[in-house]
Structure 1
């Protein structure tokens, strides 16, 4: 794979859920980027599902580490998080799918970043059931500085209802891998259960946790993707319940897709003033739906005020959405070929361009082509003007 200086593309939108913004390509020619995080010193780390960890520093792109491919369709090098004390300890966390003893598993591993290389590997939680599909994979630090981990049912739906299984759950652990004493189940990392394949989590400014989750795709019907408000110890129904239920034993989603498939992945609670139309709303990346959902949720009354779609069919499948420290939104596409990291920003913000360290593609060739095209266009304009005279 060859990465090169990203060509800046401007698209102006006036959707109901957005102000006039521009969308810039930061990096292209990627293969399924999965997660992206911002370090306090300005570096940007991101994963590709096939096993690559990258860093953007000083507007240059550098490969940090390569891991074995998982040989699965949905697993691999997935979630990525930085420690809340990263400036002091340089701890970086990865969610990885691996193959061992004829079975796939997932694990969360902590590393120390030193000179953009990984050292001091420490496995925090292991033997999370894995499979070709439904590996979950999102990891984030919550407002309480605990690590929250989404896990899929590993194509064995019954595991989601078993408290002693790590599959089909949202897990919560301390930064050193130990179990928080206030977890809902004693000596267990399980925070909530009854999930099929959650891939997005984020918190409001009041500390309310919301997740996005893939609904069935053949077993138990189709569609019914979910947005859930997550509370400790609650059962979210899979595979017993799909969509809503009148059974108080199970917690209903605040929103589900009915007979339409979104395939929601990353979820972002946007809390910046930079794009005021999005402030206080959830942005959800849709893979199958090929759009971003903008959700205005009344979480106090468990109500949905509005649901709007933006960027429909403009960038293909969208894997994740991340808010930068200055309020931009970075979008990761997931089309499997020439995937991109995009930046959504306001019109006055200067663009971010990224160059590759080491061997690069024929960037000079692209510039030459650009000059040639510009010359041809200018010449055509002159000819047209003369003919009009």
Structure 2
């Protein structure tokens, strides 16, 4: 079956945050026109419009685009990926760049969901994370989105340099008070080559103690559950009926289209990723050349292992019968030994029909995946 989802990467940012290693360009608005031309060209290579149930504009900062270019991008994508009735269209936005005219454009285009890169509602923490916005920008952005009738998801980061447990509790309480539809919580990661990592290696920044970071994650799980949010994926919490339908496509191992620099797609059993460099991507597309930098086609067993790990990221875990029907392999045939080991360690539960992460497993989930792949 043809993919029913599409991802569009918008690489523009005003500034690169110290923890960021995404495929972005900062202060290169001179490339916006060429980017819009390239997206139109790359999408035209689909040959015909491909209707989708979910559409996702990620970045970078899609809301960094001025109203005019933002409209052009939306209209171009909508032409090649028309949204089915009842579809979900998510656009990522940073609070400082989300102006009233940009929100108006998104609403007119038919965007249904805003993913707000708030990271915190504490001004001191935002400065420590090198973010360009403050608490007031977050509140204003929420008002704009609500007035436009959009669902709102808020990204929240913990384990920022110097953060205490009490500060994190205050952040959680402040976000809950905003009553968004969805909350994603992430611990600060120290990516190779990122400015924060360089500072850490020079002794200028210090990561939080692992036990404290674990406690922070536990606080998020408990407090968000108490506030009525469903914990449905390792890092994601939603009001009933407000899950990210687009991200669920990834976790289900389903196929999806993608366009833009660094964009990764999964079509006809092949995973392919465009070149991360925006300028290289633009040059290739302008020359009529494929922007794909790397691709792989998993064999059936590799694919089954991947489906297992993706499925275990979801709190509901893996139903053995459904997994076998989809993957073509029994769970125990590809990972029985590792699963038994993790069950003994209390990191997975297995009642014979369903395998899923325990609470203890949630805290160390990234450490489980290598043995299951």
- Which structure has the highest strand share of the two? 1
TM-score w.r.t. length of structure 1: 0.27
- Which structure has the highest helix share of the two? 2
TM-score w.r.t. length of structure 2: 0.27
